[in-house]
């Protein structure tokens, strides 16, 4: 993860801006990116959580796919996500297929479908992925000015760096907490706690936000 962060720091934004301009994505407001059909969940950066909680305190939930569990059956996760309606649609998508907080939407929603995510190719070399869901929604090859493309590239890089910074901080804090409190990861305990969660039980969880862990409970019905 730290290697990926270093690669991202070295990646030339102006080069990415050219890719953005060549792609020329334009949103058609179809709303598909706001459903689980296209995107699993909306992960929120700390800034997003603070802003959204001020107005809509009941729409954030611990992000799914909890990263760890201690020997006491308490989960740990790296941040919050947006709730969904009926387990499929973003809580902010209205009946007309429009976002109710469009002007104040999370940063990931602002930059989507653009991304800067590194992964290894078949030969083992790192390569950068630039766009998600290519040709599955929206329009492409729409003319963009160099300034518009650069703005998108910079905002996307900003999100990806902030996301990785939050993930790195989470794992560092998790290691520190486990060592300080004498906690340990037990895979069987994780599996048993996840079974309880999947069966509908409320389970304890520690959510990493603003550099600290917030204790709460989570159940499957919240998603």
What integer pLDDT is reported at residue 83 of this predicted model?
94
What integer pLDDT is reported at residue 136 of this predicted model?
79
CB 59 within 8 A of CB 91: yes
What integer pLDDT is reported at residue 215 of this predicted model?
97
**Residue 184: pLDDT above 70?**
yes
Q: Residue 128's pLDDT band (boundaries 50, 70, 90)? A: confident
Q: Residue 189's pLDDT band (boundaries 50, 70, 90)? A: very high
**Residue 120: pLDDT above 80?**
no
Residues 85-99: what's their mean pLDDT?
Answer: 90
Helix (H, G, I), strand (E, B) or coil at 62: strand
pTM of the prediction?
0.90
What integer pLDDT is reported at residue 126 of this predicted model?
66
Helix (H, G, I), strand (E, B) or coil at 130: strand
**Residue 157 or residue 119, greater confidence:** 157
Separation of alpha carbons 115 and 19, rounded Å: 11
What integer pLDDT is reported at residue 94 of this predicted model?
92
Number of folded domains that form the chain = 1
Q: List CB contacts of 81: < 8 A, sequence separation 6 or more.
A: 41, 42, 43, 44, 60, 61, 62, 63, 64
**Residue 123: pLDDT above 80?**
no
Domain ranges, residue 168: 2-222
For CA atoms 49, 52, 54, 57, the dihedral sign is negative
Q: Which two tokens stand for residue 40?
A: 């699993």
pLDDT in tens, 36-63: 888 889 999 999 999 999 999 999 999 9
């Amino acid at each position: 993860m730290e290697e990926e962060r270093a690669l991202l720091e070295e990646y030339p934004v102006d080069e990415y801006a050219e890719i953005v301009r060549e792609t020329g994505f334009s949103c058609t407001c179809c709303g598909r990116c706001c459903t689980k059909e296209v995107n699993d969940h909306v992960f929120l950066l700390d800034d997003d959580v603070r802003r959204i909680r001020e107005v809509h305190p009941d729409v954030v939930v611990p992000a799914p796919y909890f990263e760890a569990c201690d020997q006491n059956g308490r989960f740990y996760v790296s941040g919050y996500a947006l709730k969904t309606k009926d387990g499929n649609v973003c809580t902010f998508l209205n009946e007309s297929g429009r976002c109710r907080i469009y002007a104040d939407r999370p940063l990931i929603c602002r930059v989507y479908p653009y991304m800067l995510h590194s992964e290894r190719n078949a030969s083992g070399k790192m390569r950068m992925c630039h766009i998600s869901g290519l040709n599955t929604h929206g329009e492409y090859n729409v003319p963009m000015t160099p300034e518009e493309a650069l703005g998108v590239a910079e905002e996307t890089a900003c999100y990806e760096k902030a996301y990785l910074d939050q993930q790195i901080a989470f794992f560092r804090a998790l290691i520190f907490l486990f060592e300080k409190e004498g906690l340990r990861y037990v895979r069987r305990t994780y599996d048993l706690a996840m079974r309880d969660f999947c069966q509908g039980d409320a389970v304890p969880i520690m959510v990493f936000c603003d550099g600290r862990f917030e204790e709460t409970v989570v159940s499957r019905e919240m998603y």
